[in-house]
Amino acid sequence: MKAFEKIIGYEKIKDELKQICDIVQNRDIYKKMGANMPNGILINGAPGLGKSLMAHTLIEACGINSYILRRTKGDGDFIREIERVFTEAQQNAPSIILLDDLDKFPCQDGSQEELSAVQAWIDKVKCDDVFIIATANDLGDIPKSLIRSGRFDRRIVVEAPSIDDATKIIEHYLKGKPIVADVNIDDVAKMLAGDSCATLEATINDAAVYAAYERCDKVEMRHLVMATLRENYHIRSLNELTEDELTEVAYHEAGHAVISELILEGSVGMVSISALCGSDRIGFVRKCKEHRRRAHIILTILGGKAGAELTLGRVASGAQNDLYRAQAHIKDAITDSGTMGNHVLGCGYSDTSERSQHESELLTRAKLDEYLFKAKEMLCKNRGFYEAVARELLERKTLLASDIARIRSEHSIVKVDIA
């Protein structure tokens, strides 16, 4: 099935699409097994992940009459367009109808007349050899009755590409572009971890634009870094910061990165002090592996504050947002465990009572201090690794996964028990 070569990565999804295609093309084989054609397939996920490409590839591979329905007309005209497409598909069966961006079918006033019409027509052509494919970004406003089994028997959830898939996609988009030999594809995939296929494509293209603008012969790693920063963050002039401010930022971000790496090796895809993350936060750590345990998340959040305070010998500025985030996680942990200090929620006191709230605040502060102390202990016991990351970050402004791995390999790592 050569058509499916257009989809880079996503092997499990391709296997499912190939199975649907095989059913369409070899129905007698499946009928002998008592297996019926699924009533429809719904492909949903965030924008830019290739849902429409997957649907169009399936249609091409099936090789039967196909019809595409998108919201391109006004309310009344669109209702008539729905009727026209379904009628024509019914008359020319076997056929496929693609409902592209199904979540955009309703009109802006909130009425769901269009979706009601689609549902009615799906039921009408159910026995007429008309197969329905739908794509959608958000299923929240689509009636459950429309997307239930019986109308859509298969649902494919498309997520951001894994590191392995991102590597394949990046290699695909780099084909035909002159690149220097030392471009590290693994680094590129990790610094773009979690991004959509569309973002990967745009980033690679931007890197080529940077190289051409500089009249370089080839795309270099620095062009890919510049393109990643531009695509995901707001690049900021470091001339706006004093040397002391820049040092604090470097040690702050190094604290986040090193704690993350001590807990989960290979978790940091990029750490930079060259860009804004959000409206005012200077610097960021981009993870390519996520921590699962809440304690690990809290320690990583507090790593910046812990590191800056260890280095500067004073309370670090600019860590307020980290404190809010850490406190939120701690409060969630208290709520999930159902305990407030020595009291159990619901046993003698209401969880909304003044006493319970006071106990919750005391326990939150105590746990916050405990986690902050543990983060400082981890950095102190691995001071060489931490200092080396901070110094190199201050010098180079952006470090990638391979840089962190190299620095780590040059130091003895001391494990710290985390309760």
69 located within any domain:
yes
Mean pLDDT confidence for 330-352: 57
Instruction: Say whether both 173 and 153 belong to one domain.
Output: no
CA distances for 84 relative to 87, 97, 107, 117, 368, angstroms = 5, 12, 19, 12, 62
Instruction: Say whether both 295 and 397 belong to one domain.
Output: yes
415 located within any domain:
no
Tell me, what CATH number does 177's domain have? 1.10.8.60
- For the chain, helix (H) and strand (E) counts, in that order, are 16, 11
Tell me, what CATH number does 301's domain have? 1.20.58.760
Q: Please state the domain count of the chain.
A: 3
Q: Quote the pTM value.
A: 0.84
5-39 confidence digits (pLDDT tens):
999 999 999 999 999 999 999 989 999 999 988 99
Instruction: Say whether both 72 and 59 belong to one domain.
Output: yes
Residue 291: band (very low, low, confident or very high) from pLDDT cuts 50, 70, 90: very high
H-helix or E-strand spanning residue 154: strand 154-158
Comparison of pLDDT for 382 and 415, the residue scoring more: 382
Please name the residue that has the structure tokens 């849902």.
Answer: 51
Range of the domain at 298: 238-409
8 located within any domain:
yes
Instruction: Say whether both 279 and 398 belong to one domain.
Output: yes
Instruction: Say whether both 212 and 353 belong to one domain.
Output: no
Instruction: Say whether both 290 and 382 belong to one domain.
Output: yes
pLDDT for 319 equals 76
123-171 confidence digits (pLDDT tens):
999 889 999 999 999 998 899 999 999 999 999 999 999 999 999 999 9
71-91 confidence digits (pLDDT tens):
887 767 889 999 999 999 999
For residues 392 and 234, what is the distance between their CA atoms, to the nearest angstrom? 22
Residue 345: band (very low, low, confident or very high) from pLDDT cuts 50, 70, 90: very low
418 located within any domain:
no
H-helix or E-strand spanning residue 227: helix 221-232
For the chain, the average pLDDT equals: 89
Instruction: Say whether both 57 and 152 belong to one domain.
Output: yes
Instruction: Say whether both 106 and 183 belong to one domain.
Output: no
416 located within any domain:
no
Q: What is the DSSP string of 248-286?
A: HHHHHHHHHHHHHHHHSTT-EEEEEEEEEETTTEEEEEE
Strand partners of residue 226: none
Sign of CA dihedral 78, 80, 81, 83: positive
